[in-house]
């Protein structure tokens, strides 16, 4: 018997009482939910409980934070970015307890424009001094405090698992509502353009970070003035080493150490509250056709050999169209990691167009040895999609 969670927005419980919703989900076969308690801005067409176009606020905390959980010097959620009380969350937890149903906190850590706008000094800053306001920098001690405070706060509320999303760096094409890059830009250039050279990243580098920052800025000048000289080159560490030198590779290693340290801190805090940690791994989305996505994790600062030491569960988003592709990605994760693995499937468009396809994907995961499967996103599923899940889980 596996564990089957639905990724869920709080709107599910704004529209219906938890005492009504949770028994319905139990009947489908779900054993719990990953409830978004800290999320970024989005516009979502929610349909399971009737059509509703909802606008989720930037960096919003769907509960009332306990500020005493945050260390001195940490950035804390602003009152305007929180609910006024904890009634909704407490009702969900109470209903879940009577149904033996898991409530996992789903939190988006580094993708937070609300904090970025108020604290631009704590955001990713590239070689030109441009700040990516939607991306917090995990090297910042103020952000490290926010990470630990958020973890301690959520872990103290009676949850089963902390589902960790976005605790890493991000690319250039990520984060805002209307992105305008009217430039023909290859992956190497996009990577260098978004590489963080904030004061904290530079201070944690053992080499001359300021010199490297200036070198990257100089290397990008042909792109800014004329065209991208690396337009067709693949984004690999070999390519970056040839272009920028070994110093850049050492710089990338230093940020991998920082990210691993953040996961270590999160894991220690969660474990002290008897809460399990799950790393929502977006590596399969870097290249939607790659059957070995962990090889690209370094692009967002993840060294899997390091992170794997601290996380209880890896949870990759295996958004693939066919069961064979799902099987290949699952086998890749099983072969590369020591952590337990939970797979995330999307039973809806664009990954899935039929009940048979979903059933085959679930069967492929089970055949690969992965029995725990989560489904994204409950609020956006048609009733048909929910029925497909129910039958796939029992087939």
Summarised one tens digit per residue, pLDDT across range 127-177 is 999 999 999 999 999 999 999 999 999 999 999 999 999 999 998 876 666
- C-beta of residue 300 within 8 angstroms of C-beta of residue 168: yes
Task: Identify the pLDDT of residue 175.
Answer: 66
Three-state secondary structure readout of 10-48: CHHHHHCCHHHHHHHHHHHCCCEEEEEEEECCEEEEECC
Say what the pLDDT of residue 277 is: 98
26-82: pLDDT as tens digits:
999 999 999 999 999 888 998 999 999 999 899 999 999 999 999 999 999 999 999
Task: Round the average pLDDT of the chain to a whole number and report it.
Answer: 96
Q: Provide the whole-model pTM.
A: 0.96
pLDDT surpassing 70 at residue 275: yes
What is the average pLDDT across 287-297? 96
- How far is it, in rounded angstroms, from Cα 198 to Cα 204? 10
Quickly tell me which residue has 């497909």 as its tokens. Answer: 388
pLDDT at position 395, please?
87
**Span of 44-48, 194-198, 291-295, 390-394 with lowest mean pLDDT:** 44-48
Q: Residue 84 has what pLDDT?
A: 97
pLDDT in tens, 2-17: 999 999 999 999 999 9
In the chain, the domains with their CATH numbers are 4-121+133-171+275-394 (3.20.20.80)
Flag whether pLDDT at 114 surpasses 80: yes
What end-to-end distance do the CA atoms of the chain give, in Å?
13
Q: What percent of the chain has pLDDT over 90?
A: 93
Which tens digits make up the pLDDT trace of 168-214? 999 887 666 667 778 899 999 999 999 999 999 999 999 999 999 99
Strand segments (E) across 236-339: 276-281, 313-316
Residue-level pLDDT at 183: 87
Residue 240 pLDDT greater than 70, yes or no: yes
Q: Could you report the per-residue pLDDT of 74-106, keeping only the tens digit for each? A: 999 999 999 999 999 999 999 999 999 999 999
Residues 187, 12: Cα–Cα separation, whole Å: 38
Q: From residue 245, how far is each of 237, 251, 287, 331 by CA, in Å?
A: 10, 11, 25, 34
Residue 177: its pLDDT value, please? 64
């Amino acid at each position: 018997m596996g564990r089957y969670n639905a990724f869920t927005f709080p709107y599910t419980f704004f529209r219906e009482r938890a005492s009504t919703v949770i028994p319905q989900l139990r009947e489908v076969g779900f054993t719990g939910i990953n409830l978004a308690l800290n999320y970024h801005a989005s516009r979502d067409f929610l349909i399971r409980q009737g059509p509703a176009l909802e606008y989720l606020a930037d960096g919003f905390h769907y509960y009332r934070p306990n500020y005493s959980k945050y260390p001195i010097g940490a950035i804390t959620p602003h009152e305007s970015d929180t609910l006024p009380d904890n009634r909704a969350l407490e009702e969900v937890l109470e209903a879940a307890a009577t149904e033996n149903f898991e409530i996992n906190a789903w939190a988006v850590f580094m993708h937070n424009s609300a904090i970025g706008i108020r604290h631009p000094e704590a955001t990713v800053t590239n070689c030109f001094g441009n700040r990516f306001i939607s991306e917090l920098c995990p090297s910042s001690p103020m952000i490290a405090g926010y990470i630990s405070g958020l973890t301690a706060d959520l872990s103290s509320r009676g949850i089963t698992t902390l589902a960790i999303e976005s605790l890493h760096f991000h690319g250039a094409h990520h984060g805002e509502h209307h992105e305008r890059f009217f430039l023909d830009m290859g992956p190497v250039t996009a990577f260098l353009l978004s590489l963080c050279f904030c004061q904290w990243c530079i201070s944690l580098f053992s080499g001359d970070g300021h010199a490297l920052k200036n070198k990257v800025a100089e290397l990008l000048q042909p792109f800014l003035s004329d065209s991208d000289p690396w337009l067709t080159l693949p984004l690999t560490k070999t390519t970056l080493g040839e272009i920028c030198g070994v110093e850049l590779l050492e710089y990338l290693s230093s940020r991998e150490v920082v990210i691993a340290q953040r996961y270590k801190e999160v894991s220690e805090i969660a474990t002290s509250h008897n809460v399990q940690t799950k790393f929502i791994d977006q590596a399969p989305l870097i290249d939607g056709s790659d059957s070995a996505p962990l090889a690209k994790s370094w692009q967002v600062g993840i060294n899997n050999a390091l992170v794997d030491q601290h996380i209880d569960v890896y949870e990759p988003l295996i958004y693939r169209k066919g069961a064979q592709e799902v099987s290949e990605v699952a086998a890749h994760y099983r072969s590369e990691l020591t952590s337990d693995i939970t797979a995330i499937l999307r039973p809806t468009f664009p990954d899935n167009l039929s009940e048979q396809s979903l059933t085959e994907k679930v069967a492929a995961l089970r055949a690969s040895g992965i029995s725990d499967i989560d489904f994204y996103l409950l609020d956006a599923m048609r009733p048909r999609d929910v029925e497909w899940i129910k039958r796939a889980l029992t087939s």
